[in-house]
Amino acid sequence: MDEGALYELAESIRAQGIMQPILVRRLSQGAHAGKYEIIAGERRSRAAKLAGLERVPVLVRDVPNEAAAAMALIENIQREDLNPLEEAQGLQRLIREFGLTHEQAAQAVGRSRSAASNLLRLLNLADPVQSMLMAGDLEMGHARALLSLDRAAQITAANQVAAKSLSVRETESLVKKLGAEFQLVTQKPKKEKSRDLRRIEEELSDLLTAEVEVRIKKRVKRNGRVEEMGDISIQFGSLDELNGLIERLRGAE
């Protein structure tokens, strides 16, 4: 937790009190049986202690372990001081650990599906670039511009962005300039896909927690019917991600 933000929250609580009760549950098993565990409101609880409050308003709920963990994670993702990469990592946990679809994860944290997808794409950045984003050396706009480059080029460009304090627009220009040397091969403009094809892509993306593209290469006529033929592209950012994809495909058998 950011100490500065925590002290600011403490000052607000000292002046106005806690506006939203802290969500807790009573533990029934283990060494802490009979005690209460905070599900949502850890920051408010700590800030209240800093503000000198001896009592705080709470709501007691009977919540299973998995649901409690998901609720705590969702509240953490919704923090205002969260870095975009931390938010992306939280969304990925909701999808992988709790079985939420991209749509459900986005709704849980109050994001649109497209905004959640843009955040999740940040996890495809090269590790050094992710570290720069986490440290605040790059902003979300810089990171999104760098995603169109391969990983080696991302690192080269990110170092230039940080060293020269480039704006997002300047970063986009740099990415175009590096294109001749590093940038991934661009594809021809794609024809508008049918609603059914987009739905299939979304369902596959949700199942695999990876970006999936279905491409129709040609149409042939068989027995009086037009059949579409093509291929499926699944994106991954590392060998670990690829191994995870393979495991999820095996699990879907």
Name the strands in the sheet holding 36-40, side by side, starting at the edge strand that comes first in the sequence.
36-40, 22-26, 58-60
Assign 92 to helix, strand or coil: helix
Question: Does 241 qualify as catalytic in the annotation?
Answer: no
Other Cβ atoms less than 10 A from the Cβ of 95: the count is 20
Tell me which residue of 216, 236, 240 sits closest to 227, measured CA to CA: 216
Q: Are 13 and 23 in contact (CB under 8 A)?
A: no
Angle among Cα 175, 81, 208 to the nearest 5 degrees reads 60
Cβ-defined contacts of 135-141 (< 8 Å, 24+): 136/83, 137/162, 138/162, 139/168, 140/84, 141/168, 141/171
Q: Which of 42, 172, 202, 211 is catalytic?
A: 42
User: What sections of 17-64 are H helices per DSSP?
Assistant: 42-50
What would the two tokens of residue 123 be? 């996890």
Hey, what are 249's tokens?
Answer: 């495909």
Q: Whole-angstrom Cα distance, residue 48 to residue 15?
A: 11
The catalytic site residues sit at 42
